[in-house]
Amino acid sequence: MSSRREFVQKIATSALGLPVLLNSSSLFAYTNNHYDGPLLRVAIMGLGSYGTRVAEAMQSCRKAKLVGVISGTPSKVAIWQSKYGIEGKNCYNYDNFDEIKDNPDIDAVYVITPNGLHCEFTKRVAAAGKHVICEKPMGINAREGQEMVDACRAVNVKLLIGYRMHFEAKTLKIVGMRKKGEFGKIIFFQGQSGFIIGDPNQWRLNKKLSGGGAMMDIGIYSINGARYMIGEEPIWVTAQETKNDPVKFKEGIDETIQFQLGFPGGAVASCLSTYAVNHLDRFYLAGIEGWAEMQPSTGYGPIKARTHKGELTDPHITHQTVQMDEMAGIILENKQPVIPVDGEEGVKDMKIIDAIYKAVKTGKKIDLTSS
């Protein structure tokens, strides 16, 4: 597949084979719920494949509305203007978007650019006085992540990270069961995230733009998933890297990493992040009294999940639609999500990624409690 996003969509669809009518009817019911409150007016920065997916999903939002674009490609801006009815005064490029500070029609900017640009662009958006939604990973390391948090806090704007799975119904159902003790003491988590990456010249295989390889792109799902599934913060990490194609996966671009996390309650997580194996999208959580499995676990859906009590049947709603509506509630109404999506949450993942890379380099167990 040419990208993770194409892969996860394909595997999610093929794994379930659910009728389109089921998904569309669920979305119809969602979008027809009455809402009279304020709208979060959003500009999308970065009009690539995922930016397009978010824009399409936002057409069904109740609380969030696409009103602006920021892009370095004028032809894309023209297409988006026509397709989504975006006014010319709400269109910017990467050189002049600081001018949004004078635009009262834009409340927030969703940064969907290569990872290496997240920190700079987030700080510029914050300086313009606008709330920031930044796609994950929030930066290329924890230092950048903390700079982003500090920049937004200094001017009193919110920084949210694009963790769409934090609002997904089956994910929340399993987290709720764990909180209620239905699995008993948690002892094990397994996360598998992988696909065979295509074009060797894409930005995801460019260290300056991506910050790393599969770990930055999809391994972060298993890191984040281990944390919210187990419900604790890890205290140590070990990791091992396998690289079979050093030409495609150059220095600083990981092909495959296996990593293990230890948690204060005694649970361990065993995870795999790879750009070399297809069809890996699975979470498994085990307690002494029950278990939960999700496969696909983080694709665009529908997510398929079951526990020791049976299959979960919550209806599928487009993840980005729910995400943007829920984030509008966080920004406009100070709503508190079940699983955090703020900048501090993003920094926690970045600290673990930093430690994983350190563990690979040193071959040692890395203590996460001293950082």
Query: Do 72 and 180 belong together in one domain?
Result: no
- Give me the CATH number covering residue 85: 3.40.50.720
Other beta carbons within 10 Å of 289: 12
Q: Is residue 324 part of a domain?
A: no
Q: Is residue 262 part of a domain?
A: yes
- Give me the CATH number covering residue 268: 3.30.360.10
Q: Is residue 320 part of a domain?
A: no
Decide if 289 contacts 246 (C-beta within 8 A).
Answer: no
pTM above 0.85, yes or no: yes
Decide if 221 contacts 193 (C-beta within 8 A).
Answer: yes
Q: Is residue 6 part of a domain?
A: no
Residue closest to 137 by CA, chosen among 193, 197, 216: 216
Count the domains in the chain: 2
Query: Do 149 and 199 belong together in one domain?
Result: no
Place of tokens 């699995």: 183
Query: Do 101 and 120 belong together in one domain?
Result: yes
Q: Is residue 99 part of a domain?
A: yes
Query: Do 220 and 273 belong together in one domain?
Result: yes
Query: Do 222 and 361 belong together in one domain?
Result: yes
Query: Do 147 and 177 belong together in one domain?
Result: no
Q: Is residue 321 part of a domain?
A: no
Query: Do 159 and 293 belong together in one domain?
Result: no
Query: Do 33 and 147 belong together in one domain?
Result: yes
Q: Is residue 8 part of a domain?
A: no
Which of 163, 186, 211 is the endpoint of a domain? 163
Cα separation of 106 and 314, whole Å?
Answer: 34
Which of 144, 163, 182 is the endpoint of a domain? 163
What are the pLDDT tens digits along the chain (371 aa)? 344 444 444 444 444 433 333 344 455 557 667 788 999 999 999 999 999 999 999 999 999 999 999 999 999 999 999 999 999 999 999 999 999 999 999 999 999 999 999 999 999 999 999 999 999 999 999 999 999 999 999 999 999 999 999 999 999 999 999 999 999 999 999 999 999 999 999 999 999 999 999 999 999 999 999 999 999 999 999 999 999 999 999 999 999 999 999 999 999 999 999 999 999 999 999 999 999 999 999 999 999 999 999 999 999 999 999 999 999 999 999 999 999 999 999 999 999 999 999 999 999 999 999 86
Query: Do 149 and 27 belong together in one domain?
Result: yes
Query: Do 213 and 77 belong together in one domain?
Result: no
What lies within 8 Å, CB to CB, of 33 at 6+ separation is 62
Which of 123, 143, 163 is the endpoint of a domain? 163
Query: Do 144 and 213 belong together in one domain?
Result: no
For the annotated catalytic residues, the residue numbers are: 136, 221
Q: Is residue 11 part of a domain?
A: no
Query: Do 150 and 204 belong together in one domain?
Result: no
Residue 180 structural domain: 165-315+339-367
